[in-house]
């Protein structure tokens, strides 16, 4: 079922036994966060971009790895790499460090530069590392689940195979690396659990 059909079919979704609007108002999101016991912390990076475009559709979250290094690189470092490519700045919206710290990349509601042909309707999340050879840390996977669950709530997405993808699902690339890609079903299940479905 695509997102449009899904929205048509159910305007409401059951969350933790209570019926809540599919698109959460900010107050509801704040209440949920307060009650969840683990508020999601985003480390602000205050990066400067050349130019950015607002994104007016969001129906999928796309996971990436760094790939060419397994180093614990920061959003600021990736920002410099992507500026050097001639881009507006870092192409991902979030970078998850080895210790689970979530750093802000491109502002959340802007068009990213992380998945050819899909940037207009997606959020890009990068777990740093090379997951062809190494494995993501437990802290990274945990942070990814918490972040993606929150993004699903914010954008009114039902977490599942249609809404949480790996880069290789769209483009000819090894990204997000075989080891993270193998974990994707577990990540989706973890997001669903946090989301309450």
Interface residues with Zn ion (CB under 5 A) are: 64, 167, 175
The residue among 119 and 137 lying less far from Zn ion, judged by its C-beta, is 119
User: 163 to each of 37, 66, 79, how far by Cα in Å?
Assistant: 25, 21, 26
CB of 132 to Zn ion, least distance (A): 12
* Nearest in space to 124 (alpha carbons), one of 138, 107, 100, 142: 107
Q: Could you give the 3-state DSSP secondary structure of residue 44?
A: coil
CB of 172 to Zn ion, least distance (A): 11
CB of 126 to Zn ion, least distance (A): 7
The residue among 29 and 169 lying less far from Zn ion, judged by its C-beta, is 169
Cα Rg for the chain, rounded, in angstroms? Answer: 16
The residue among 22 and 113 lying less far from Zn ion, judged by its C-beta, is 113
């Amino acid at each position: 079922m695509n997102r449009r059909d899904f929205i048509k079919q159910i305007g409401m979704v059951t969350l933790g036994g209570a019926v809540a609007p599919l698109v959460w108002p900010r107050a509801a999101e704040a209440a949920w966060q307060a009650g969840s016991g683990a508020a999601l912390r985003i480390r602000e990076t205050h990066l400067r971009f050349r130019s950015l475009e607002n994104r007016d559709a969001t129906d999928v979250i796309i996971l990436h790895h760094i790939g060419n290094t397994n180093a614990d690189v920061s959003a600021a470092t990736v920002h410099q790499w992507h500026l050097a490519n001639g881009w507006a700045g870092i192409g991902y919206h979030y970078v998850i460090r080895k210790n689970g710290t979530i750093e802000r990349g491109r502002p959340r509601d802007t068009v990213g530069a992380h998945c050819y042909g899909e940037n207009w309707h997606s959020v890009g999340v990068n777990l740093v590392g090379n997951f062809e050879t190494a494995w993501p840390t437990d802290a990274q996977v945990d942070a990814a689940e918490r972040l993606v669950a929150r993004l699903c709530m914010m954008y009114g997405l039902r977490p599942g195979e249609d809404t949480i993808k790996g880069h290789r699902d769209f483009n000819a690339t090894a990204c997000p690396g075989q080891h993270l890609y193998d974990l994707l079903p577990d990540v989706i299940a973890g997001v669903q659990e946090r989301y309450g479905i």
